[in-house]
């Protein structure tokens, strides 16, 4: 019985330290932007330093993603988001933007290349943009209507197929 408890304790410890969802167990997750809210103004650079401005989302149905490539939950969701992106990338009425949270360009580019991802990627090196939306937990997805209003927010385990995600994006 003691060995059983020991193994369970070790397993729970490994899960806890390996989690990418919350950075500090003592911190309660606070969502600063929720469904029904308008997203705040922000700018983020791409890998070449070109800035993306959140006002560019006005007039488009959009998906905004915060991620980190070392996050297992993000790794699980990225292929689904990529598949959804492939359905909309040629339509100028839609915009997908993936923002790497506190991660260098080289790491993201390497992961994108290894996993054949093509989502437009931008960088929040110091977490300033992310902190406008929440204090913890990734992946974090916001689906926006043409007015920049959040119609859906997904955190951690989205539990959606690409088709279900497509429906959430189109049926706002």
Tens digits of residue pLDDT in 36-46: 999 999 999 99
**Domain-embedded: residue 37:** yes
**Domain-embedded: residue 4:** no
pTM of the full structure? 0.85
**CA atoms within 13 Å, Cβ hemisphere of 109:** 6
* pLDDT tens per residue, range 63-98: 999 999 999 999 999 999 999 999 999 999 999 999
**Domain-embedded: residue 120:** yes
Which CATH number goes with the domain that contains 150? 3.40.30.10
pLDDT band, very low/low/confident/very high, at 135 (cuts 50, 70, 90): very high
User: What is the domain range of residue 112?
Assistant: 31-170
**Domain-embedded: residue 5:** no
Nearest CA to 150 out of 61, 59, 34 is that of 34
**Domain-embedded: residue 26:** no
Q: What is the DSSP string of 67-90?
A: E-TT-HHHHHHHHHHHHHHHHHTT
What is the Cα–Cα distance from 104 to 90, expressed in whole angstroms? 28
**Domain-embedded: residue 116:** yes
Polymer length in residues for the chain: 172
**Domain-embedded: residue 114:** yes
* pLDDT (average), residues 147-163: 94
Count of domains observed in the chain: 1
pLDDT band, very low/low/confident/very high, at 14 (cuts 50, 70, 90): very low
**Domain-embedded: residue 109:** yes
Nearest CA to 67 out of 119, 14, 26 is that of 119
């Amino acid at each position: 019985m003691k060995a059983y408890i020991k193994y369970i304790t070790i397993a729970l410890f490994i899960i806890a330290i390996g989690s990418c969802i919350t950075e500090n167990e003592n911190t309660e997750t606070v969502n600063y932007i929720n469904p029904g809210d308008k997203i705040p103004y922000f700018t983020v650079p791409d890998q070449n330093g070109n800035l993306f401005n959140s006002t560019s989302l006005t007039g488009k149905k959009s998906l905004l993603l915060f991620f980190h490539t070392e996050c297992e939950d993000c790794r699980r969701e990225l292929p689904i988001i990529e598949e959804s992106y492939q359905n909309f990338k040629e339509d100028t009425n839609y915009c997908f933007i993936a923002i790497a949270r506190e991660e260098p360009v080289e790491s993201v580019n390497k992961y994108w290349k290894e996993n054949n991802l093509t989502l437009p990627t931008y960088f929040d090196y110091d977490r300033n943009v992310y902190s406008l939306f929440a204090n913890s937990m990734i992946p974090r997805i916001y689906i926006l209507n043409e007015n920049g209003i959040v119609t859906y927010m997904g955190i951690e385990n989205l539990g959606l197929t690409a088709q279900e995600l497509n429906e959430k994006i189109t049926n706002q």
